[in-house]
Structure 1
Amino acid sequence: MDFKIDTMETVYIPAEDSFLLAENLAIKPGDSVLEIGTGTGIVAMYASKITDKITVTDINLDAVTLAEKNFKKNNIENIEILFGNLFEPVKNRKFDVILFNTPYLPTENGDVIDDNLNYAFDGGLNGRKVIDNFLNEVKNHLNEKGTVQIIQSSLSNNEETLKRLDELGFVSEIAASEHYFFEDITLINSYL
């Protein structure tokens, strides 16, 4: 890892999915970037090596606090941090690139934990609860010829995501994939 980061129990600790996104960023110098669900801020830190127009959001207040601490720890000052769910904090704004390591795990009531960490993985019964809400709004926040990069799992139906993106007018592909135990973690790149 190129950065020093602190972690905490209530914030998702960077794992394979985080690095699959961080190592395959489709960002150009000067792009405006929005990362939804920044967690520790690790993906945004990699993005900061490419562009200085970065906004991050998280629904987990612990994550917002931790990301700010990690940015300072690495002398990164060009990232705007906002608290809120999905696109709420950036209501009337548009970006060139939108990044999201989605909460993609299918969860039943017994799987839900009473803790802020739950936001990081709880995808609802079919793993698509947050993914579908994101897809419903993403085009409203993307500049013309923009790019969306989503991390999700084969457990949350990659084909459904590709179909929805196609219906929204995107050209999409599974740009990278890694197999772990019972699932494939995939990076979907979509272009307007």
Structure 2
Amino acid sequence: MKYNNIEYTECDEVYPPAEDTFLLIDNLEVKEDEEVLEIGTGTGIVSIAASYTAKNVTCVDINPHAVKCAEKNIELNNRNNINVFESDLFENIDLKYDLILFNTPYLPVTEEEHDSSDDYSKAWDGGLDGRQVIDKFIEQVGEYLKNSGRVQLIQSSLSNNNKTIEYLNNHGFNAKISASEHQFFEDITLITAKKIE
């Protein structure tokens, strides 16, 4: 399969690239010589897109199947400035980055639907209000950004965009919706936030 100049393979147990993935790729704000981190890389194609401009890219996923899938797609595109490994959010991260990307698990999921043993569902399961992972990410992300670093995250109007912007602003960022796309019963939104020095 192909998106723009990126070839990729979809893998079992890994969230396939969809409208939210492409919205992030199409609006990436990567500058030359920057160090980029992607949380929840899935197939790796967002990191691959970023790697054409960035100095280097680190990408992580909680799902071990996604790590293998991303490795396969990185090799398929002959990218040698991407490092990929398993991590639950920032659990195994110890550096600071210029830009952090995250296509968040943003769908509200009932307790009956939630399955903590299912690696695949972790890509979209955002807990009861769709904010379980988003809020945890915002609480931690500032520690892993360089001064005046930036965050670009994807979420849905179903998980309260205004709350995310307010929460980011309260955690030392200047945040705004920088792109959105209407899908069926929701708006997929890209929120870009700059760390205030």
Q: Same fold (TM over 0.5)?
A: yes
Which of 183, 188, 192 is residue 189 of structure 1 equivalent to?
192
Q: Does 124-133 or 50-59 show the bigger shift?
A: 50-59
Post-superposition Cα deviations, 1:154-179, rounded to whole Å, max 9, x if no partner, equal 00010110011111121111000000
The RMSD of aligned alpha carbons is 1.0
Contact 2:105 2:123 in 1 (8 A): yes
| Alignment partners' CA distance in 2, 1:188 and 1:181 | 20
SS at structure 1 position matched to 2:17 = coil
Which of 150, 154, 157 is residue 154 of structure 1 equivalent to?
157
| Alignment partners' CA distance in 1, 2:60 and 2:168 | 22
**Structure 1: which 5+ runs fail to align?**
none
Which residue number in structure 2 is paired with residue 52 of structure 1?
A: 55
Q: How does 1:1-192 map to 2 (within 5 A)?
A: 1=3, 2-90=5-93, 92-113=94-115, 115-192=118-195
SS at structure 2 position matched to 1:109 = coil
Contact 1:52 1:79 in 2 (8 A): no
Q: Shift in Å at residue 48 of structure 1? A: 0.9
Q: Which amino acid counterpart does residue 41 of structure 1 have in structure 2?
A: G
- How many residues align? The count is 191
**Structure 2: which 5+ runs fail to align?**
none
Q: Shift in Å at residue 82 of structure 1? A: 1.5
TM-score between the two structures when normalised by the length of structure 2:
0.94
The percent identity for this pair of structures is 50
Q: Which amino acid counterpart does residue 99 of structure 1 have in structure 2?
A: L
TM-score between the two structures when normalised by the length of structure 1:
0.97
| Alignment partners' CA distance in 2, 1:109 and 1:33 | 34
Q: Which amino acid counterpart does residue 139 of structure 1 have in structure 2?
A: G
| Alignment partners' CA distance in 2, 1:89 and 1:34 | 12
Q: Does 60-69 or 1-10 show the bigger shift?
A: 1-10
| Alignment partners' CA distance in 1, 2:25 and 2:55 | 16
Q: Shift in Å at residue 4 of structure 1? A: 1.5
| Alignment partners' CA distance in 2, 1:10 and 1:109 | 21
| Alignment partners' CA distance in 2, 1:115 and 1:88 | 19
Q: Which amino acid counterpart does residue 25 of structure 2 have in structure 1?
A: A
Runs (4+) of structure 1 exceeding 2 A deviation are 109-115
SS at structure 1 position matched to 2:10 = coil
SS at structure 1 position matched to 2:79 = coil
Q: Shift in Å at residue 111 of structure 1? A: 2.4
| Alignment partners' CA distance in 1, 2:106 and 2:170 | 21
